[in-house]
Amino acid sequence: MRHHGLSLGKPFGIPVYVGTSTFLLLLVVAVVSGPGAPINAQGVELITPGVYGGLVAAGLFFSLLLHELFHCLAARRYGLPVISIQFEGYGGQSRFAKAAQSPAPKADVSVAGTLPNVLLHLERWASRTKTTGSTSAHTPLDA
């Protein structure tokens, strides 16, 4: 099977490839996100828009990578050989040498990708609850 894009290494022994369209989309995310850089009460930027946009784009890519890695690690748990992770556009695809044959492994592999997102949201909620005392998921920045 031919892979497209730049190789980003092999986390957990799984080759990761990123296509040009993903880099272009992350650049757009960085440029669009930059003006949303946080400011303090005096109106001073806490971080430059370029750095902020880059961090937003990096965070997005990292969350997508975690999502795909969790699919792959769940597949390995069932003995399914993982070929690679390929990113194109706004997302990734975990490639396996063969598909799971029964419903339970299929469901586990499918659901496993959402686990990092759930954990990140729970961490965000817990840290907000600890710092503000509120269990609300909204902040002034969310408005």
pLDDT in tens, 89-108: 878 999 998 888 888 888 99
| Spatial separation of the C-alpha atoms in residues 59 and 127, rounded to whole Å | 18
Do you know the residue count of the chain? 143
pLDDT confidence band for 71 (50 / 70 / 90):
very high
Distance CA 71, CA 49 (A): 33
What was the pLDDT predicted at 143?
A: 43
Residue 141 scores a pLDDT above 60: no
Tokens 């408005």 locate to 143
DSSP state of 90: S
7: pLDDT strictly greater than 60: yes
Q: Does 3 have pLDDT greater than 50?
A: yes
The dihedral through the CA atoms of 107, 110, 114, 119 has a sign that is: positive
Taking the CA atoms of residue 61, residue 66, residue 72 and residue 73 in that order, the dihedral angle to the nearest 10 degrees is 160
Give yes or no for a contact between 9 and 17, defined as CB atoms under 8 angstroms apart. Answer: no
